[in-house]
Amino acid sequence: MQQLVRTIALAYSNLPRPHRVMLGSLTVVTLAVAVWRPFVYHPEQNPVVKNIELDTAQLRSLLPEASEPIDQPAPEDDIPQDEIDQKVAGEEGVHEYVVSTGDTLSSILTQYGIDMSDVSVLAQQNNELRNLKIGQQLSWTLNDAGELQRLTWEMSRRETRTYDRTANGFKATVQTQQGEWRNSVLTGKLDGSFLGSAKAAGLSTAEINSVIKALQWQLDFRKLKKGDQFSVLMSREQLDGKSEQSQLLGVRMRSNGKDYYAIRAEDGKFYDRQASGLARGFMRFPTIKQFRVSSNFNPRRLNPVTGRIAPHKGVDFAMPVGTPVLAVGDGEVMIAKPSGPAGNYVAIRHGRQYMTRYMHLKKLLVKPGQKVKRGDRIALSGNTGRSTGPHLHFEMWINQQAVNPVTAKLPRSEGLSGKDRSDYLATVKEVIPQLQLD
């Protein structure tokens, strides 16, 4: 064997240099191919599975970017309530909306976080819902899972359609009222609270709530004084001698010698005697410039660890610590203090239907009870409380229901114009003489 090796080596060394290089290269390649064996996967073999447990922090790093823990609880503080906030019997959990220009069933319901799949099924099974008209009222309830349970559509004062969730979608029922509508004027003078005085004048709790909503931007009902007067024009449906339903047509309130009016237009909204809007306009964002959204509104968000619903009732804006935070509308500061996981926290009530909340603030610039205007500085943004990065958590609530601040239909203060204004002013001429005070 050794003789053979010596003979090969001698022959190799006697070859010209180019031949030796070529032969050596071929030898190396041949040895490499002989040694390398690619892995071949055989499906019939059982794979080895290994479960790797991740803690909450590790799992969080795999989720879409956000600024606060996914199990972030809401502040424990409830907004201070008074007797004017009380709900009508059977109204708890019911959400209401008056159809406005440009509204569709989808745009209305999705801003409240209702799943688009429910909206699609409802619209596909009931084509008439594609023909909503300005001034009509929608109301709905949700089940415990946050899904649409019932939708009620008041098409007119005489016809109401109800859509109830079933195993196969939504079942529609139609209710037609056959009563006679009559107008009546109710007057009163404050002797104690407005609620008690209005009931003494013959108004129901639902009718009182409608009066408060109509005048909410002009008056603070908690500050009315003894001797203040009011006159209310109601249209009531009478059936077999009983009042089945009612609609507020106009109201006049005299407080400290000044008269305040709100009169209903065909669009279902209330305006003053000159057809000017009563609502105060809102800004869309609570900052001078728009910042990146780091976590979206999602009332049905699931906690990936527990599998339970952990609602995110607002929007997170990623912004540097110390960014000025602005009130999005005129209102009164209800809360301004540290609040555990929410950090430094401000809540502002706008009228009687709207509320905004601002969390994780660095510094508070307002105090409870303080009146603020749209655009006023109320705080500096921060990273306080349970937060994984500098950001502002911003919420908007309408009728005690959280809505998506980015898509919600915000009140606007413009008045009527053109034919709508002419028709309204004709109505004013009929309503005002009826709103007499004692």
pLDDT digits (tens, 9 = 90+) for 207-251: 998 999 999 998 888 889 999 999 999 998 877 666 668 899 999
Nearest in space to 134 (alpha carbons), one of 108, 161, 98, 110: 98
Q: How deeply is 387 buried, as exposed, middle or buried, from its count of CB atoms within 10 A (0-12, 13-18, 19+)?
A: buried
> H or E segment at 24?
helix 17-35
pLDDT confidence of residue 363? 95
Residues of the chain with pLDDT under 50: 37-44, 47, 49, 52, 54, 56-65, 89-90
pLDDT confidence of residue 215? 92
pLDDT confidence of residue 7? 59
For the chain, give the number of residues: 438
Angular region, 192: left φ>0, alpha ψ -120 to 50, beta rest? left
pLDDT confidence of residue 56? 47
pLDDT confidence of residue 374? 93
The CB-based long-range contact list for 225-229 (8 Å cut-off, 24+ gap) reads 225/190, 225/255, 225/256, 226/190, 226/191, 226/192, 227/189, 227/190, 228/189, 228/190, 228/253, 228/254, 228/255, 228/256, 229/187, 229/188, 229/189, 229/190, 229/253, 229/254, 229/437, 229/438
Distance CA 125, CA 171 (A): 9
The sign of the dihedral angle between the CA atoms of 232, 235, 241, 245 is: negative
What is the token pair recorded at 236?
């009531």
CB 361 within 8 Å of CB 379: yes
How is residue 309 annotated by DSSP? B
Buried b / exposed e over 82-107, threshold 16 CB at 10 Å, is eebeeeeeeeeebbbbbbbeebebbe
pLDDT confidence of residue 101? 84
- How many C-beta atoms lie closer than 10 Å to residue 290's C-beta? 11
Distance CA 252, CA 415 (A): 19
- CATH assignment, 102-176: 3.10.450.350
- CATH assignment, 293-403: 2.70.70.10
Mapping DSSP to helix (H, G, I), strand (E, B) and coil, where does residue 377 land?
A: strand
Distance CA 324, CA 116 (A): 35
Start-end of CATH 3.10.450.350 domains in the chain: 102-176, 180-279+415-434
pLDDT confidence of residue 59? 44
- CATH assignment, 180-279+415-434: 3.10.450.350
Distance CA 357, CA 378 (A): 11
Start-end of CATH 2.70.70.10 domains in the chain: 293-403
Q: What are the residues whose beta carbons fall under 8 Å from the beta carbon of 176, sequence distance 6 or more? A: 158, 159, 160
How is residue 196 annotated by DSSP? H
Query: How is 26-78 classified by DSSP, letter by letter?
Result: HHHHHHHHHH-------TTSPPP-------HHHHHHHSPP-SS-TT-PPPSPP
pLDDT confidence of residue 132? 92
Q: 325 to each of 4, 119, 244, 377, 406, how far by Cα in Å?
A: 91, 35, 47, 6, 16
